[in-house]
Copies of this chain bind each other. A is one copy, B any other.
Amino acid sequence: MLIGDPARANILTALMSGKALTATELAAEAGVSPQTASSHLRKLEDGGLLRQRKQGRHRYFALRDEAVAQTLEALMGLAAHRGHLRHRTGPRDTALRDARVCYNHLAGDRGVQMFNAMRAQGHLCLEAGGLTLSRAGAGFVRDLGVDLEALDRSRAPMCRECLDWSARMSHLSGKLGRALLAQFCDAGWTRRQEGSRIVTFTPKGRAAFDRAFPA
């Protein structure tokens, strides 16, 4: 079966953290060459254990669902040898990991925080194949100062899910993600560091952000 091979076992173990990892990272993790890992990853995906997400030139792999994770957990329990510690992924620079610009929207831990809060509060809804702004969500972003009518004029997608490469969770992109970051800057919540992608929060901005998007 699929789980038997040591390389695949390593890959699955690495993914037990719940994070999505790239093919190259998984190859290093499993101790095999990229092309070998590629072959394993395809088999695991065909076997229904993984799901894959393409983003730019990266391919992020994650366990397909909770049932797979649970079953693997049980298997790990049986196998006496426990998985070794995962090395930390993402940039060493903690500031970059905290908040940065991704194209032109907010990414990093703060981006993920915003995304999760908006989902939890019902402002963003994940419907069949697409992320949409709810009626309540429209009022919410208007209150934050976003000119929603201006956004409606362009045809570009309003909300998009973007996989965060440091947090390995989703954050918000699309027109709305872009407009929100612009609004944060206009309102003095955040400041861009020159010549870098780092976004720093002012003390007031940080407090206001946490109020609007409770973790």
Contact = CB atoms under 8 A, between A and B. Distances in A.
A9 interface: yes
A159 to B, nearest CB: 17
Contacts of A168: 67
Given A71-B75, A75-B71, A77-B71, A48 B82 contact: yes
Nearest to A48: B82
B4 A47 contact: no
B78 A68 contact: yes
Q: How many protomers of this protein does the assembly include? A: 2
A28 interface: no
Interface residues of A, number: 23
Interface string A92-123: 00000000000000000000000000000000
A49 B81 CA distance: 11
A105 B168 CA distance: 40
Contacts of A84: 47-48
Contacts of A68: 78
Most buried by B among A78, A79, A81: A78
Interface string A31-75: 000000000000000011100000000000000000110110011
Interface of A: 1-4, 9, 47-49, 67-68, 70-71, 74-75, 77-82, 84, 163, 168
8 contacts: A1-B3, A1-B79, A47-B82, A48-B78, A67-B77, A70-B74, A71-B71, A71-B77
